[in-house]
Copies of this chain bind each other. A is one copy, B any other.
């Protein structure tokens, strides 16, 4: 055990708890882990997520239970270990902060929300690198500076991108950047229900993008919706209002143009690279045979030109043995890239 890192106990050995345990253990921390589920607890200890808690009180407790259980387990942990600082990893923060405040224990509690990608699910998939390079939100609210410093060591050890904000602000924000978009994507997908297979086959990349998260499993969403109901309802009100304005407009064309214009402004505020506003990358679309190694061959040719690819999307053609690969590059390099790829024998579909 290092003398600098806190003796840490994790309550809950699911994907998040076990992943944090593996990651901190790998950094040399003294980590213990427990779970009401005997099987999950044994598994977590066997994969290096932490050992059994001894008689000494931990310095830091990380509560990693489902969101609906988090308020009570956090309060119980603050009471069970009266010297310890407590954090949790639930994706909604205000109900937990309120429960802690109601118990008068806010000085030792700092809420956490590690924001892992959506494609992650399943309790057996724990990995120490799960949160690396992802945002880790801290909501200190009434915590002391010492408590904040202690909890901050966790995202630092896991090499996360630390973001500090108020719990209420966090919940209002995730309703708009995460929870309501999930509802909207699922509703767009559900509206395909009246279509035949031939109709659905007209889907382009736009629909695939909009509905990608609609493929996710319900998982924790019921808990999340219940705990963030007020902010989610407010956001859905906003979205429904905008959809109704289009549906009910005297001139649906003008209404749609207005909404698209308003949406464009906001999309421009979503950060792209390194926290800067999204750059105006230019798309170069290349026809790529759908065979092993072709994407590599394309990128090898791109590298020869010396153009950096900022983003890439692949669109498979429904009934043809080719796909369209779109490379997003800086505007001043797009023409050069198109010409050079053409010289390398690639067919440019659009640029």
B-contacting residues of A (Cβ < 8 Å)?
A: 115-120, 125, 127, 129-130, 132-135, 137, 161, 163, 165, 169-170, 172-174, 176-178, 180-218, 221-223, 225-226, 229, 232-233, 235-240, 242-244, 246-247, 251-257, 259-275, 283, 285, 287, 290, 292-293, 295-296, 299-300, 302-303, 306, 308-324, 326, 347-351
- Show 23 A/B contacts (Cβ-Cβ < 8 Å), sorted by A: A117-B326, A127-B349, A133-B324, A134-B349, A173-B200, A176-B194, A177-B203, A182-B256, A187-B242, A189-B264, A192-B266, A192-B269, A203-B271, A211-B263, A216-B264, A218-B256, A229-B252, A232-B246, A236-B243, A240-B240, A274-B319, A310-B314, A313-B313
Q: B257–A221 contact, CB under 8 A? A: yes
Q: A316–B274 contact, CB under 8 A? A: yes
User: Lowest 8 A-B CB distances belong to which pairs?
Assistant: A222-B253, A186-B263, A189-B263, A173-B199, A187-B242, A192-B266, A214-B263, A226-B253
CB neighbours of A350 from chain B (8 A): 116-117, 119-120, 125, 127, 129-130
One of B169, B212, B240, B324 near A244 (C-beta < 8 A): B240
CB neighbours of A197 from chain B (8 A): 269
Q: B226–A189 contact, CB under 8 A? A: no
CB nearest neighbor in B for A253: B222
With both chains docked as a complex, state the minimum distance between the C-beta of A98 and any C-beta of chain B, in angstroms: 18
CB neighbours of A261 from chain B (8 A): 218
CB neighbours of A226 from chain B (8 A): 251-253
CB nearest neighbor in B for A301: B296
With both chains docked as a complex, state the minimum distance between the C-beta of A179 and any C-beta of chain B, in angstroms: 9
Q: B177–A207 contact, CB under 8 A? A: yes
CB nearest neighbor in B for A338: B127
* Cα distance A181–B207 in the bound complex, in angstroms: 6
- Whether A237 touches B242, Cβ cut-off 8 Å, given contacts A207-B178, A218-B256, is no
Q: B221–A275 contact, CB under 8 A? A: no
CB nearest neighbor in B for A240: B243
